[in-house]
Chain A
Amino acid sequence: MEKILIFVETKGEEVKKASLELLSEGITLAGTGRFAIEAVALGPLAQKVKERLLPYVETLIQITDPLLETYAPEAYAQALAAYAREAGARMILAGATQMGRDFLPRAAVILECGIASDVTAARWLDDPVTFVRPMYGGKVLAEVSFAGSPFLVTTRPNTFGVVKPEGAGGRLVERQAGLSADQVRTKVLRLEEKARERVELTEADLIVSGGRGLKAAENFKVLEELAEVIGATVGATRSVVDAKWRDQEDQVGKSGKTVSPKLYIAAGISGAIHHIMGMDTSKVVLAVNKDANAIIFNYADYGIVGDLFEVIPAMTAEFKKRLGR
């Protein structure tokens, strides 16, 4: 059987969605009898997280070390690569989150192997196994495979579905990484995290984004209200971020984040290619714009030509009514 390692990214009592997606794929793959799946977590794990993860796998490997207490790319790469080598893993999978994309390339160098980053589709059972990844901001897709093994793959959040397995599941195996202090030269002085009630943009199922058509920073409250009612995350275009109406973290597009929600509502967004590159893998796109010729309508499934300050509040009211919120 071929061994697949799935790196599990956690944050406090939460497991990153991209990790749960891969674990869900893992259940299907284990079912074929061709693959043995292990989840690998680095550093401390909350009890709740362990209980959440174990139903997905036969084995959850928790690798601990004083140097893995906070994220450090050198330590993470070293610990994961060392275990992958020892376990004789054929594939090492992780979510294409900021963290996954930050340290997996280092692990590839340690293992002297290839990596496919930000993959959006996989054909696990093909020989060789193939993956699809967007290039040129999504204008082209590339089907890729590897010349040898092991290999590493990071998958974009919202690529696969998440299942919720029943039962107590597998066992937890704790291991020490045995890293030495000179292997880690970065030190996190502090984390500045926004008190966010909302899901991170890259993981969100529902996104409401605004552009220049919002006219002023304070008008984003119209989108905030809609987002609040349906549980969406608010995004923004480059021009409103450059105008300091919204934070850099909220930017969707080439120089911001790439998102793949189930529903993307684009309000007052003209549809510059830079923005399209960040949201074109959304499942359903609804655009609201006063200008019937706005380019965004070429990239939308549904469009309303109208004033967003009339349409969006009316949608908020209707969602409220239908959802009973």
Chain B
Amino acid sequence: MNIVVLAKQVPDAEAFIEIQGGGERLEIEQKFTMNLFDEFALEEALRIRERLGGRVKVITLGGGKATEALRTGIAMGADEALLLDHEAYLGGDGYATALALSRAISREACDIILCGKQAIDDDRAEVGPMVAQFLGLPHVGAVVKLDIAGTTATAESIVDGGRAVVEVALPAVFTCQKGLNEPRVPLITGVMKAMKAQIPRLTPEDLGLAGDQVGLKGSRVRIIKYLAPKKRPKVQLIGGEPEEAAIEAVRIVMDVERVL
């Protein structure tokens, strides 16, 4: 099995984020980690390889910190890594990002493409299904169980109100949801290997893409500005004995806030 994992380095969930320049840009605390959902994707790829043999390739797009996701991938056990590295790739929307990634994937034949169900920075959840469409492949979203038998996969997927068990012919794209597996912690030998790994880089030109097809220039969605979410006023504590407080809380819900 040739397995491709799409992974992304993202700010940690607890990283401090500040809006600057009147909403023009974000200042993000330098605390990064591999996107949680991509870790499930990588772990699943490694487990499939352990069962069925093959190779695992991790691909990411981006500058600076992006390489770290690839090194984490190699440390966990991926065979190779590929970085889409060029200034022109940056600031892309789901469309521009998925176009570049799909070109990178299609350079070599593969059977299974795994990625997280969404990246926890942009929260778009668009790239997985878009990559599938660009490659003309089927996809199954929010997968919590994946069985591969020959050239067929059976995936259990979270849908509104329950789960769907879906059969799909390979090659196919799967977006991974929590519950799929428990990602392993890299061994020290893996970390050493990752530190020394040479990571090949591809420019848009290498992928046959013009500068205005990728990144910000290739984007159909534009961020006009960043806004701070509405801040909740300071909490009003309801005092008294438990029963009194409970009665007061019910009064507030029904008579003051009128949400019931």
Contacts and interface: CB of A to CB of B under 8 A. Distances in A.
Interface of A: 11, 16, 71, 73-74, 77, 97-99, 101-103, 105-106, 108-110, 113-118, 130, 132-148, 151, 184-194, 196, 200, 202, 205-206, 230, 248-249, 251, 254-256, 262-263, 273-274, 277, 280-281, 283-287, 297-307, 310-312, 314-315, 317-319, 322
Interface stretch (B41-49, B54-62, B73-81, B157-165): B157-165
Given A117-B124, A130-B224, A141-B229, A187 B166 contact: yes
Interface string B140-159: 11101000000000100011
B250 A189 contact: no
Nearest to B160: A98
Given A136-B120, A300-B232, A192 B245 contact: no
Given A109-B134, A263-B260, A284-B257, A254 B223 contact: no
B235 A302 contact: yes
Nearest to B93: A114
A318 B130 CA distance: 50
Contacts of A151: 220-221
B117 to A, nearest CB: 9
Interface in B106-160: 120-130, 132-134, 137-142, 144, 154, 158-160
16 contacts: A73-B129, A98-B158, A108-B130, A115-B220, A118-B125, A143-B227, A146-B220, A189-B165, A263-B259, A284-B259, A286-B252, A301-B233, A303-B238, A304-B238, A304-B249, A322-B254
A156 to B, nearest CB: 11
Contact of B247 (A135, A136, A255, A318): A318
Given A11-B161, A188-B166, A191-B162, A254 B246 contact: no
Contact of B249 (A105, A145, A187, A302): A302
B168 interface: yes
A108 B95 contact: yes
B228 interface: yes
B259 A283 contact: yes
Contacts of A262: 259-260
Contacts of B127: 105
Interface in B18-32: 19, 23, 26
Contacts of A132: 227
Interface of B: 11, 13-14, 17, 19, 23, 26, 36-37, 93-95, 98, 120-130, 132-134, 137-142, 144, 154, 158-169, 172, 178-179, 219-229, 232-233, 235-238, 242-243, 245-247, 249-250, 252-254, 257, 259-260
A11 to B, nearest CB: 7
Contacts of A142: 223, 225-227
A302 B165 contact: no
B228 A101 contact: no
Contact of B17 (A117, A139, A146, A301): A139
A186 B220 contact: no
Contacts of A135: 121-123
Contact of B167 (A143, A189, A194, A302): A189
B121 A136 contact: yes
B10 to A, nearest CB: 9
